[in-house]
Structure 1
Amino acid sequence: MSAPAKDSSLRIVALLCAAEVLSMTGFSTYPALLAPLREAWGMSGAEAGFIGGVFFAGYMAAVPLLSTLTDRIDARHVYFLSTLLSIAGTLGFGLFAQGVASGALFQALAGAGLAGTYMPGLKALTDRVTGPLQSRFIAFYTSTFGIGASVSLLLAGVLEPALDWQWAFMLCGAGPLAAGLLVLRALAPVAPAASMTPQRHDPAPAPLLDPRPVLSNRAVLGYVLGYAAHCWELFGLRSWLVAFIAFAYALSPHADTLWGPAAVAAAINLLGIPASILGNEIAARVGRRRYIVTVMAASAILAWAAGFSATVSWGLTLALLSLHFIAVMADSAALTAGLVAAAPPGKRGAAMAVYSFLGFGGGFLGPLVFGLVLDGMGGKDSAAAWGFAFGSLGLACACGPLAVWMTARRTRP
C-alpha cells in the first residue's frame, strides 16, 4: 500500500516522531521525582517500585485492544483518544495523588494512554510508509522514545525545584494533548492494511484479544520474548536511574555535580538514540538474531558492573551507566524491525499488541523486582543492595538471548 501523494515518507516520519516526544512529556515525571516522593509519602523501595511498574501494568491492560484495533480502523483515531488517557493520568497525579494507592491509579491511567500512542503510532507509520527504507524509519521512530523520555526527565527536573512536584505533573500533562491534535489534524487518513480488500495470499486480520495466531509464528515469538527481557531491563533501569545517580553523587563528594541527577539521567537516555538506530543498521547486515543475542549478553554483564561501581568513583559509575544504557538500547530497534518484518501485514497490529503486552509486562516487573531486591539486600543506603538490584536487571536480560536463540532454531536467522 502506498502513502497518500501529499504526504512524503519523511514528513510522515518527522510528524510521528514529533508527536511521540509530545505524547511522552509525563512519561518520566515519576522516575525523575521518585526520591522526593519517596520521602514525602514514606514509601519503601517495593512501594516506590510498584508505582513505577504499575504504569506498565496500565499499558498491558490497554494495549491488546488498542493496538489490535489498528488492524481495523485508522491508527490516528486510536492515537488521539489515547492521549486523553495520558492527560487524565498525568494531570490527575498532580491534582489528586496522595499516596501509593492513588499514585498507582493515575500512573496506570497514564500507562494506558501510552499503550494507545506508542505502538499505534508505529502502526500509523507502517500503514503509510512502505518499501526498503521502512526498517530504517521504524528505527527512527523507536529511537525517538529515548528523546521523549529525556525531555520528560528534563522537564520534571526543572519544574519540581522551581514550583513543586504537583505542578511538575500537571504541566507535563499538556504534551499529550498537543500530540493527539497533531496526529489527528496533520496526518492524512489512510485505511489500515487489514481493512483493505484482501488478496488471496494475504491473511485475515487476527481476532481481537486472541494472541494465538501471533504466537504460533515462531519468528514473531522470538522477537516478542526478546522484547520482554529488553523491557524488563530498560524500564527497571529508567525507573531507578535518577535515584541511583543521586546515591552515587552522595558517595562521591568531589564529583562534579553541576548537573543534577535528572539532567544526567536525561543525557544518558539520549545516548540510546544513536545506539538504537546504528544497532538496527548493523543488525540488518550481520543478521538480526545473531546481533541481538550478542548485544543482550553484553548488556546483562554491564548491568552488574554498573550497579556495583558506586563505591569506586563517580567517573567510573557514569561511564558504566552510559555503556550499559547504550547496550540496552542497541537492540531496541532491531527487535521491533524484526517483528514488523516477520508479521504478516494483516496481523501486524495484533503482533504489535502481543509484543507490547509481554514487553511492557516485563516493564512492570522490572521496577518492582528492583525495589524488592533493594529492600531485601539492605535498603537504599547500601551500595551492595544497589549492586544486586542492578543485577536483577542483568539476570532478566540474560533470558532474552536464550529465548531468541531457541526460537531461531526452526526459523531463518
Structure 2
Amino acid sequence: MNRFLLLLTASRFTASIAMMIYAGSLPFLLGEWRMSGAEAGAVQSVFNLAYAISLLVTSWLSDHLGAKRVFLASNACSLVSFLIFAFAARSHESALVLYGLVGLTLGGSYTPALMLVADKVPSASRGWAMGLVLAGSSLGYCVAIALAAACIPVIGYRWTWALVALFLCAGFAAALAALRREPNRIHRREPVAEGETRFRESLASRPSVLLTAGYTSHCWELLGMWAWAPAFLTISLAGRIDWSAATLGIVIACILHFSGALATLISGGLSDRFGRKLILVTMALAGAALSYVFGWSIGWGPAVVLVLAALYGFATIADSGVLSTAMTESVAPRHLGSMLALRSILGFGAGAVSPLVFGWILDLTNPGLDTPRNWGWAFAVLGIGGSLATLFAILLPRDRRRPRRAVD
C-alpha cells in the first residue's frame, strides 16, 4: 500500500463527509426546518443533480486539462462552497441553493480520482486499488452520520457543519501531498497507436453500454438508500433500544457505511481474482433482494433490523468500485474522462431523482402521519434499480484475462 493511494483515499474520505452530512442531519432538520418527506428529499435530489453535472464537467475537463489539475481545483472549490453552506443555510429554501452549490464543486473529487488510480495502478491489482479509494468514501459517510448524531444535539447543526469544513481543509492538504510529485497527464495529447479503437466504437461497444446502464441502475438504488436509510433506522430503533441519540447515530453510521467500506475492499480484491462479471452479478442481485425486504422490517426486532442494515450497506455499494474498474479496462485512457462523464450524468441523474421519488412514495403511503411507519413500498422502488443492474451484469461478455486497451 503506497503513499499515493493512502493520501488519495484520505482526500476522498473528507470529501465524503461533506457529501453525507445532510443525510446524517435529516432526523434533526425535519423538525427544525419543518420539512415534509418530499421537501427533505428535494434538497438531496438537488444536491445529487448538481453533483451529476459536476461529474460531467470535471470528467470531460480531465481529458483536456489533466485529472491532477482538475482534482486539486475541485477540492479547493468544494472547501469554499461548503463553508458558505455551513454558515448560510438556515431553511429548506436556502439549503436547496447552497447544498446544490456544494454538489457542483464536489464532483471533481471523484471521477478524476478514479482516473488518477487508473493511470497509476496496473489492471491486475486495480480492482483492489479502486476499492481502497471507495472504502475511504464509505468511511467518510460513516463519520458524517456519526458526527451529526453526536454533535448536533450538543452544538447544533451550524457548528457541526463548520467542523466538517475543517475536515475538508485536511483533505485538501492530503490531495496536495498525494499529487505533489505526480505528472499532470493529458492522454488526448499523446500519439495514437496503430490499431487502437476510436471513441465512437468504444462508446457503442457492448461492455461500455452495459456498464453505463448498470452504473445508472446502481446509482438509483444506492443514492436513494443513502439518503433515507439513516432516517428509517433512527425512527425504527428510537425508543426500542436504550441508547442515547448520539450512540444510536454512531451505530447506524457504522452499520451502513463501515460495512460498505469492507464491501468495496473485498469485492475489488475478489474481482481481481475471479473476474469483474461474477462479482457484479452477485452483488447487484443481493442489493436488489435486500431493497425489497428492508423497508418492511420496521416492526421487526432491533437485532434483525441492524443485521439487515449491515447486509444492505454491504451489498448496495460492493459493485461500485468493480463497475469503475471494468470501465477503465473497457475504454481508452484518452477518452476515459468523456465516458465517465456520460456515465456520471446518467447515474447521478438517476440518483438525483430516486430520493425525491422515495419521499413522494413515503408521503403517499403514510397519509396524515407526522412520523412515517410504512416504508416498504418506498424501499421497493429502489429495488427496481438493483434488479436492472443485475440484468445488465448478466448480459456482460465473459471476462478476459488480459483486457484489451481501447484508445481512440
TM-score of the alignment, normalized to the shorter chain, above 0.5: yes
Work out whether 1:156 is the aligned partner of 2:142: no
Work out whether 1:48 is the aligned partner of 2:40: yes
Q: Secondary structure at the match of 1:132?
A: helix
Q: Distance in 2 between matches of 1:222 and 1:264?
A: 36
Q: Distance in 2 between matches of 1:349 and 1:377?
A: 41
Counterpart of 1:369 in structure 2 is: 357
Deviates more, 1:43-52 or 1:351-360: 351-360
Q: Distance in 2 between matches of 1:393 and 1:52?
A: 15
Counterpart of 1:192 in structure 2 is: 185
CA contact 1:88–1:106 (8 Å) conserved in 2: no
Counterpart of 1:5 in structure 2 is: none
Counterpart of 1:383 in structure 2 is: 373
Mapping of residues 17-96 of structure 1, within 5 Å: 17-96=9-88
- Which consecutive residues of structure 1, in runs of 5 or more, have no partner in the other structure? 1-8, 207-211
TM-score normalised per structure 1:
0.88
Work out whether 1:178 is the aligned partner of 2:170: yes
Once the two structures are TM-superposed, the CA of residue 374 in structure 1 deviates from its matched residue by 0.5
Q: Distance in 1 between matches of 2:176 and 2:270?
A: 34
Mapping of residues 85-164 of structure 1, within 5 Å: 85-130=77-122, 132-164=124-156
1:100-152 deviation digits (Å, cap 9, x = unpaired):
22101111111122211111112222223335323321221122210111122
Once the two structures are TM-superposed, the CA of residue 221 in structure 1 deviates from its matched residue by 1.8
1:27–1:219: structure 2 CA closer, same or farther, 3 Å change rule? same
1:154–1:222: structure 2 CA closer, same or farther, 3 Å change rule? same
CA contact 1:276–1:330 (8 Å) conserved in 2: yes
Once the two structures are TM-superposed, the CA of residue 281 in structure 1 deviates from its matched residue by 2.8
1:373–1:113: structure 2 CA closer, same or farther, 3 Å change rule? same
- Which consecutive residues of structure 2, in runs of 5 or more, have no partner in the other structure? 402-408
CA contact 2:81–2:102 (8 Å) conserved in 1: yes
CA contact 2:4–2:178 (8 Å) conserved in 1: no
Give the letter for the 1:389 counterpart: A
TM-score normalised per structure 2:
0.89
1:235-273 deviation digits (Å, cap 9, x = unpaired):
1111112211111123xx442425634212220210112
Once the two structures are TM-superposed, the CA of residue 318 in structure 1 deviates from its matched residue by 0.7
CA contact 1:27–1:149 (8 Å) conserved in 2: yes
Work out whether 1:255 is the aligned partner of 2:241: yes
Within the candidate set 283, 286, 294, 2:271 is matched to: 283
Q: Secondary structure at the match of 1:383?
A: coil
Within the candidate set 336, 340, 351, 1:348 is matched to: 336
Counterpart of 2:232 in structure 1 is: 244
1:299–1:135: structure 2 CA closer, same or farther, 3 Å change rule? closer
1:205–1:265: structure 2 CA closer, same or farther, 3 Å change rule? farther
Once the two structures are TM-superposed, the CA of residue 155 in structure 1 deviates from its matched residue by 2.3
Counterpart of 1:400 in structure 2 is: 389
Q: Distance in 2 between matches of 1:205 and 1:105?
A: 40
Deviates more, 1:341-350 or 1:177-186: 177-186
- The aligned length equals 396
Work out whether 1:165 is the aligned partner of 2:165: no
What's the Cα RMSD here? Answer: 2.4
Q: Distance in 1 between matches of 2:10 and 2:102?
A: 19
Once the two structures are TM-superposed, the CA of residue 23 in structure 1 deviates from its matched residue by 2.3
CA contact 1:46–1:368 (8 Å) conserved in 2: yes
Once the two structures are TM-superposed, the CA of residue 317 in structure 1 deviates from its matched residue by 0.8
CA contact 1:214–1:354 (8 Å) conserved in 2: no
Give the letter for the 1:310 counterpart: I
1:45-99 deviation digits (Å, cap 9, x = unpaired):
1110111121111111122221121123232321222123322432222222232
Once the two structures are TM-superposed, the CA of residue 34 in structure 1 deviates from its matched residue by 0.6
CA contact 1:85–1:113 (8 Å) conserved in 2: yes
1:288-321 deviation digits (Å, cap 9, x = unpaired):
2233223212211111222111112111111111
CA contact 2:85–2:102 (8 Å) conserved in 1: no
Q: Secondary structure at the match of 2:2?
A: helix
Deviates more, 1:69-78 or 1:158-167: 69-78
1:202–1:61: structure 2 CA closer, same or farther, 3 Å change rule? farther
Within the candidate set 254, 259, 262, 1:267 is matched to: 254
CA contact 1:227–1:355 (8 Å) conserved in 2: yes
Once the two structures are TM-superposed, the CA of residue 165 in structure 1 deviates from its matched residue by 0.8
Counterpart of 2:406 in structure 1 is: none
CA contact 2:288–2:386 (8 Å) conserved in 1: yes
* Seq. identity, %: 29
Q: Distance in 2 between matches of 1:100 and 1:382?
A: 20
Q: Secondary structure at the match of 2:6?
A: helix
